[in-house]
Amino acid sequence: MATAQHHLSTYDPAGVPTGAGRRFVLVVSEWNREITEALRQGARQTLLVHGTDPAEVIEHWVPGSYELALAAQLAIEAHTPDAVIAIGSIVRGETPHFEYVCQATAQGIMDVNLRTGVPVIFCVLTDDDLQQARDRSGGRHGNKGVDGAVAALKMAALRSSLQVG
């Protein structure tokens, strides 16, 4: 496992741009809510720690990870955010459904990034079992939501610095 030697919540705060004056949207899957709620809390708290106004952190819940890409696109159209964090949890089951949902979710989120030019951060856990998901959503490997928020802050700043006109 790639996270076995890496704590997901460890980062250098000095290297993270401020969230002041920026708007972020969290689109969060209801499926595996124990996990996604922990990821949501980690992402939200990290955005606030880095100066984002609480009123500029907008949240929308969707039924599952498959719906995250469309939710991100709709949120971009409705809220004009600086970045979106797509939060989900897909746990492997006994059928190939896991592979289909993982692939479609990843592809959909990438497509929204490229189509809109707005960073949509892939904060979707794809784990073999529920314990792995717990370990990566506030457990022994930290909280991937923190990592997602740091990526959103960095990509929002990059996008802003590269805007022409």
**Rg for the chain (alpha carbons), in Å?**
15
- Choose among 56, 13, 58, 55: nearest CA to 40: 58
Q: Walk across the sheet containing 57-62 and list its strands.
A: 57-62, 24-29, 83-91, 120-127
**Residues 119, 110: Cα–Cα separation, whole Å:** 9
Active site residue 97: yes
SS (H, E, C) 16-48: CCCCCCCCEEEEEECCCHHHHHHHHHHHHHHHH
Catalytic residue among 7, 60, 79, 97: 97
**Residues 132, 143: Cα–Cα separation, whole Å:** 12
- The alpha-helical segments, DSSP class H, found in 5-127 are 33-49, 68-79, 97-116
Q: Would you please indicate which residues are annotated as catalytic (active-site) residues?
A: 97
